[in-house]
Amino acid sequence: MKLRNQLLALFCLLVFIAFGVLFFRTWVVQKPFGIILFLSDGLSTNTLTAARIYEGGADHRLNVERLSRLALVNNDANDFAIPDEAASATAIATGVKGNNRAIGVDPKGNSLESLLALARKSGRRTGIVTTGNLTTPSTAAFYAHTTEESDVAAIAEQFMGDSGIDVALGGGLNAFTPESKGGARKDGRDLWLELRSHGYTLLRNKAELENTPAFLTGPLVGLFADEELPFSTDVASASQAPSLSDMVRRAIEFLQTNRRGYVLVVDCALITKAASENQGEKVLTETIDFDRALKTAQRYAGDQTLIIAVGKQDVGGLSLNGFPLRNDHGVALLGKNPEGQPAMTWSTGPNGPVPAPTPPLPAPPELGTTPLAPEEPRPSEAEIVAADSKSKLEPAAYRSGKAIPTARDMIMVGSGPGSEAIQGFMDNTEVFDIVKKAL
């Protein structure tokens, strides 16, 4: 009798434990320890397809294609159907659609609370990694508030204020240093030295980044270039600068020492720079570099980390054209195809055709005067192309000082706890909601 009661008690205990495990796994929301949000211009079907073929041909697959969740994202601004970088980043960072050129504020100019501010309130450490300037709209939307994105000096001061960011790695030192020291600040302030006095650990090169212990508890800022970092294909020759993967890996190591977790924002800004200059191959190599950094994040953060990659906007409208062979990749996609057609083209940008000059209207001749001289001949097509040698490789349909954003839905992919909300057609403000629920 006694043995039977013991067995019955053991059975009841096992049933209770099994029910508890089932309840926890099914109904209790499990918060991810780490949350990593990748932002990338050009994260769209046309750019990903071209990058995949460029790296390994038609049968190749990128790391981003292996993430389990996928959605198409609408990214319009409050005042324009096509957003600029400031509006798209603000929508993602705050969950509110702002106006073009405005950062971290609503359409009336009121400051908005960002994901990183909410993360700090929940006890998480916060970080930003960028291959561009720390003060550009994509990163500033997570800590600054201004109606004028070009006021870089003021944005740098806001980073100095109550941004509360624990780890910031990227470029843009000029915004923090005065003109007397080769920087861009006209007020004479040296914010770089002020950061040190506020307790920040300051890093200037890859060696310092690698040698800094991961158990560092205070805030850390690494600015590795005066402006943007070098393109990934140039990092080897500029050995002082870390790669995007280097910065992502080290940021995770610094942030994950916090027992309540962290949120890391990664901005792949060099894709934007390459696209605005109609540098097609650079767009593809930087997209591949982003893809490798995503793989690094998965490796060092683990499966229980919520990882999201979302496109902000599409600049220039890059297209891969024609009929490359199935195994064509790399340089085989550059220049012109066997039919003499450009392999890659842009909708707008500096490589567009030079507009033919329009001669002024002549004044009507007076009676008895010498007949008008014939008009100046328009330049030939060969002369127009020769005026811009780059247009021989990657022509744009319309010439502009730099490529402008195009109307195109972005892609959002994700994995880890909370990523199941990524599905179907979504709005970019919903990125904010997904991350907020995971905090």
Q: Cα–chain-centroid distance for residue 197? A: 30
**Cα–Cα distance measured from residue 75 to residue 29, given in angstroms and rounded to the nearest whole number:** 29
DSSP 57-87: -TT---GGGG-SEEEEEE---SS-SS--HHH
* Per-residue confidence (pLDDT) for residue 15, from 0 to 100: 55
Q: Cα–chain-centroid distance for residue 12? A: 53
Residue 66 lies in a domain: yes
CATH number of the domain to which 251 belongs: 3.40.720.10
Q: Cα–chain-centroid distance for residue 193? A: 28
* Per-residue confidence (pLDDT) for residue 102, from 0 to 100: 97
Residue 159 lies in a domain: yes
* Per-residue confidence (pLDDT) for residue 11, from 0 to 100: 60
Residue 8 lies in a domain: no
* Per-residue confidence (pLDDT) for residue 364, from 0 to 100: 58
Residue 53 lies in a domain: yes
* Per-residue confidence (pLDDT) for residue 138, from 0 to 100: 96
Domain count, the chain: 1
Residue 349 lies in a domain: no
- Strands (DSSP E) found in 337-402: 344-349, 396-399
Residue 262 lies in a domain: yes
Extract the tokens encoding 269.
């800004």
pLDDT digits (tens, 9 = 90+) for 273-284: 999 999 999 999
pTM for the structure as a whole = 0.87
In this structure, are residues 246 and 265 in contact, taking their beta carbons and an 8 Å threshold? Answer: no
The contacts of residue 52 (CB under 8 Å, 6+ apart) are: 58, 60, 61, 62, 65
* Per-residue confidence (pLDDT) for residue 393, from 0 to 100: 63
Residue 360 lies in a domain: no
> Domain of 70?
34-319+403-438
* Per-residue confidence (pLDDT) for residue 1, from 0 to 100: 57
3-state class (DSSP) for residue 153: helix
Extract the residue ranges of the chain whose pLDDT is less than 70. Answer: 1-29, 236-239, 356-393
* Per-residue confidence (pLDDT) for residue 162, from 0 to 100: 74
Residue 24 lies in a domain: no
**Cα–Cα distance measured from residue 374 to residue 359, given in angstroms and rounded to the nearest whole number:** 11
* Per-residue confidence (pLDDT) for residue 384, from 0 to 100: 47
In this structure, are residues 307 and 67 in contact, taking their beta carbons and an 8 Å threshold? Answer: yes
* Per-residue confidence (pLDDT) for residue 72, from 0 to 100: 97
